[in-house]
């Protein structure tokens, strides 16, 4: 994908268009390979209203995705 530059947040909201293939599967195409290569890399940081921080790794999300797929 070609990198797009936007003049402002409003410009981004008005003009952003994600061009993903029809058969794109986020878990299979991105998450699983990333988790295999670097399972302990942080994928998401959650901070609740009290300031408690929880880091979730790519490995965690890959495990959860597989668990959901097997349900």
Looking at residue 12, its pLDDT comes to: 95
Residues 33, 46, 16, 5, CA torsion sign: negative
State which residues form the domain around 51: 9-69
Reduced to 3 states (helix: H, G, I; strand: E, B; else coil), residue 68 is helix
**Per the structure block, which two tokens stand in for 25?**
């599967």
- 10-48 pLDDT, tens digit per residue, is 999 999 988 888 999 999 999 999 999 999 999 999 999
Looking at residue 18, its pLDDT comes to: 85
Whether 60 contacts 43, CB under 8 Å: yes
Looking at residue 1, its pLDDT comes to: 61
Binning pLDDT at 50, 70 and 90, where does residue 4 land?
confident
Query: 19 Cβ partners below 8 Å, 6+ apart?
Result: 1
Say how many domains are in the chain: 1
Q: Is residue 2 part of a domain?
A: no
H helices within 1-71, ranges in order?
9-15, 26, 32-37, 58-69
Q: Is residue 3 part of a domain?
A: no
């Amino acid at each position: 994908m070609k990198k797009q530059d936007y003049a402002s947040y409003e410009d981004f909201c008005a003009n952003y268009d994600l061009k993903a293939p029809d058969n794109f599967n986020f878990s299979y195409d991105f998450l699983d390979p990333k988790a295999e290569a670097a399972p302990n890399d942080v994928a998401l940081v959650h901070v609740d209203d009290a300031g408690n921080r929880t880091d979730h790794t790519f490995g965690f999300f890959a495990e959860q995705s597989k668990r959901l797929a097997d349900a």
